[in-house]
Amino acid sequence: MNEHQVFNWPVRVYFQDTDAGGVVYHASYVNFMERARTEWLRTHGYSNAGLMTAFGVMFVVRSIKLEYLRPALLDDMLDVTAQVHEIGRSRLNMRQSVRRGDEVMTTGEVNLVCVSRETFKPVSVPEALLLSWKI
């Protein structure tokens, strides 16, 4: 196991993120977490499009596990975290959370696989990414 620094990304809850009662719709948390992972990647000098161009790879979600602890509401300002938990040859496991202040709304574990852009078959995580992640 290799714990890394926690990345935070602010997200405002918009009307489109909620159900009829103004509560964040369960699937919206997946979108919030995707944004945080994308911005985490950018802080390391890469975009998703850049990975495809530079290395011919992309990360795809293999599995995701979410625990809903408290409801987030319309207009809430949330912090979405992303943290590398484990890295394998072609696998990246990240832990994520959605918080409102000190309250944890949702936690998640996302398992990603590095795949070839052309074949969608698993490939090794490029060494340059591991170096930028300081692994």
DSSP one-letter code for 52: H
Q: Is 19 a catalytic residue?
A: yes
DSSP-H helix ranges across 1-135: 28-43, 48-55, 127-132
Per the listing, tokens 């602010």 go with: 10
Which of 19, 75, 79, 102 is catalytic? The answer is 19
DSSP one-letter code for 12: E
Per the listing, tokens 């408290």 go with: 70
Going from the C-alpha of 9 to that of each of 52, 56, 97, 108, the distances in angstroms are: 23, 27, 10, 15
C-alpha 104 chain-centroid distance: 16
> Which residue numbers are catalytic?
19
